[in-house]
Amino acid sequence: MLKLTVVTLVLLTGVTQVSGRFFVYRPRNRRFFSATCTKKGWFGDQFCRYMCHCQGDAQCDKKTGHCPGQCAEGWFGPACQYVSSGFKITRYGYGYGEILSDANESSCAHVYTRNVTVNLETSTAISWVRVVGEFAAEWAEEMRCKIQGVPCPKQTVIEVDDKTVDIFCPSLQPVNTFVLQLGGFSSLCSIYISGGRNVALHQLTMQSSTLYSWISGNAVDGTVGTVDGKDSTLEQECSHTNEGSSAEGFWKLLFAHRYVFNKIVIYNRRNPNRIRCCEDRLKGFLLEAFTNRAERVFTYKDSHSTAQDIYTVVNNGSDTPVTTIKISKSRSSPFLTLCEVMVFGDTACRRGRFGRECERRCQCVDDQACMVSTGGCPAGCAPGFIGEDCHTPCPVGKYGPGCKKSCSFHCSGLPRKCNAKDGSCDHGCELGFQPPLCDQACSNGTYGQDCAKSCSEHCAGPNKSCDPVDGSCDHGCEAGYQTPQCDQGCIGATHGVDCKHTCSVYCAGLNHECNPMDGSCDHGCQVGYQPPRCETECANGTYGPACMKNCSGHCAGSDRGCSPFDGSCTKSCEHVCPHGTYGEDCNSTCSDHCRTPIDTNSSLCDPFDGSCTLGCDPGFQLPQCFTVILASTAKSNDGSSWTWIIVGACTVVGLIIIAVVVVKRYRRKTIGQGQRDSVLLSSIEE
């Protein structure tokens, strides 16, 4: 029960787990802790798993590890995670070693330096070199690295920024000297020689047994040197196996990923006052490295006659990625003490990934592979990104490879923002410019926001071009259209270019309407005016509707002119048609059946329409007496005439008779009255 209780407690704390006979240290489970690191001097999304290395007391960013200033002495690179083997370089060419190895990038050797010889204090394997100074960009590809006098066979040069160049030249074999050919530099400020980064921090560990609380994880907790006023190499900060165990004493580091290491640094235990107690426990240790298939690819056996405070084991040339590091002692001496184990190297990521856990994706141009150490891209960052790891977006207003291009001044909005990759304006273009880059005015035929509108088809000119901003036609409108954009036809009685002309008042119709393009009257002209625009009277010699009639050839005057309205001769007629003729130019002859006048000088027929002056001969019809009257019609006409004569005569006779009767009756009445008066008078007298 006791053992079960211990196991349960250990599982909950996530610190130590008993696994069979062995004791395993597991990093804390992320489910139980905040995603933000709060521990001073540490950072990382994976719960304070990385150590800050900023200069002085400066604190790094809790997520990225970025230092506000320079890195602490001996560190450089992304988040200052790479240990520099170069800060103790003994000699540089041209005598500027102190300046170039002081890690102070503000102190520079302002000379034109071609070759720099680097002599390392101790032999070490290197993977890449960082050079800081001023150089001409076109010379970057000409920079070379020679190791032990031999040119680097797999060299890669990457421009980090305008002052920094990384030269990758992996050399797993320990070296003492190498030469940098730096043609193009006008000054040099600092040189860093990468010894890798510590990939052992907070990785999974296990040991054969554990003494008290000195768990295997103490050897990868990053506590080196003086911590809180105490020496970290004292027993309480170290891992210890139990000396009572009869089995082989061992300690294992189990990587979560595959790593290629340059060197391994082991800190031995020390006792206060230099009382020799435990240092010798590490003498004669065996260090082995294994692949993920448990294949041993590296072996080191300590051969020092005396115990060392710090052991440095350098890779002897193997570039095979490993997943396990094992440190062990023989069964005769199973007690193993380790105060810190640092493994310097880099992750063996698959193509397109980088970072300690291969957790980051490369952002290189054309999807090329990047360097696993920095994320730097040999051919440059993908468009829209800059920085050491090509993950810094272009600043506002910049875009493209290296963020060297500026967003168009005609991007809409302030500040003028555009897509960092291709430069397309985020909020479209100002009026009159073409998307997506907004760096060109609208082409002929378009205008407005994003050139989405088309110039009017009624713009004048061969290209029908218009202003790219407001669409006003460059050369005005075609006849019949108005407004600056020429998108409305003429209204009212107007026509022509820009509708500046008024339809003729002599256009027929109530509103004098005319064609808006050419001014021709819609309903023709008033009498006396010439089509199509009805602006002028009929030409001399014509008259009437549409001036379709010709003036008489007998109008007086040399021009034979007549009124354009009714055709009346302007200067009267030249003369009357000769006897017996009529009509235009007197070309028509009066009918032979016109009654002949007694006066031979009188006209036989009307000179204009040919109607017979005195009527027709019997049997012909008025007015021109050309048509013969049928016989029945003639008889009917003769009978009718006699009937009217008889009726008239009878009427006259009747009237005479009535008059006679009336007179006679009147006289009788008068005589009778006289006789009565005589009788009356006689009676009175009597």
Residues in the chain: 686
Q: CA-CA distance, 550 to 538, in Å (whole number)?
A: 10
- For 208, 250, 328, the CA distances from 335, given in Å and listed in that order, are 10, 9, 9
Higher pLDDT, 117 or 516: 516
Task: Please say whether the beta carbons of 427 and 412 come within 8 A.
Answer: yes
- The C-alpha torsion from 33 through 37 and 39 to 41, rounded to 10°, is 150
Q: What is the pLDDT of residues 606-617, one digit of tens each?
A: 888 899 988 999
Q: What is the pLDDT of residues 237-255, one digit of tens each?
A: 899 998 766 678 899 999 9
Per residue, what are the HEC states of 73-133? CCEECHHHCEEECCCCCCECHHHCHHHHHCCCCCCCECCCCCEEEEEEEEEEEEEEEEEEE
Q: CA-CA distance, 289 to 283, in Å (whole number)?
A: 19
Task: Please say whether the beta carbons of 129 and 181 come within 8 A.
Answer: no
- The C-alpha torsion from 493 through 494 and 495 to 496, rounded to 10°, is 160
Residue 391 in this model has a pLDDT that exceeds 60: yes
Most distant CA pair in the chain: distance in Å?
Answer: 222
Q: What is the pLDDT of residues 571-582, one digit of tens each?
A: 877 777 888 888
pLDDT of residue 127: 82
Lowest mean pLDDT among 96-105, 175-184, 282-291, 487-496: 96-105
- Beta-ladder partners of 226: 231
Q: For residue 685, what pLDDT band results from cuts at 50, 70 and 90?
A: very low
Strands annotated E in 13-72: 16-19, 22-25, 42-43, 50-51
Give this prediction's pTM: 0.64
Lowest mean pLDDT among 400-409, 469-478, 525-534, 595-604: 595-604
Residue 338 in this model has a pLDDT that exceeds 90: yes
Residue 230 in this model has a pLDDT that exceeds 70: no
Q: What is the pLDDT of residues 52-107, one digit of tens each?
A: 999 998 999 998 899 999 999 889 999 999 998 864 544 454 556 677 777 777 77
Of the spans 120-129, 224-233, 537-546, which averages the highest pLDDT? 537-546
Q: Quick one: DSSP state of residue 544? A: S
Higher pLDDT, 188 or 513: 513
Instruction: Give all domains of the chain, ordered by start, each with its CATH number.
Output: 70-198 (2.60.120.260), 204-346 (2.60.120.260), 442-477 (no CATH), 579-631 (no CATH)
Q: Which helix (H) or strand (E) is 347 found in, with range? A: strand 340-347
Average confidence (pLDDT) over 6-26:
42
Q: Which helix (H) or strand (E) is 311 found in, with range? A: strand 310-314
pLDDT of residue 30: 41
Those residues with Cβ within 8 angstroms of residue 524's Cβ, 6 or more apart along the chain or in another chain: 507, 508, 531, 534, 545, 546
Q: CA-CA distance, 640 to 649, in Å (whole number)?
A: 14
pLDDT of residue 96: 64
Those residues with Cβ within 8 angstroms of residue 180's Cβ, 6 or more apart along the chain or in another chain: 115, 116, 118, 129, 131, 143, 144, 145, 167, 191
Instruction: Tell me the percentage of the chain whose pLDDT exceeds 90.
Output: 39
Those residues with Cβ within 8 angstroms of residue 469's Cβ, 6 or more apart along the chain or in another chain: 431, 432, 447, 448
Q: CA-CA distance, 641 to 318, in Å (whole number)?
A: 153
Of the spans 32-41, 103-112, 311-320, which averages the highest pLDDT? 311-320
Coil, strand or helix at 677 = helix
Lowest mean pLDDT among 448-462, 463-477, 591-605: 591-605
pLDDT of residue 197: 92
Q: For residue 117, what pLDDT band results from cuts at 50, 70 and 90?
A: confident
Q: CA-CA distance, 59 to 48, in Å (whole number)?
A: 13
pLDDT of residue 87: 46
Average confidence (pLDDT) over 532-555:
90
Task: Please say whether the beta carbons of 552 and 569 come within 8 A.
Answer: yes
Average confidence (pLDDT) over 678-682:
41
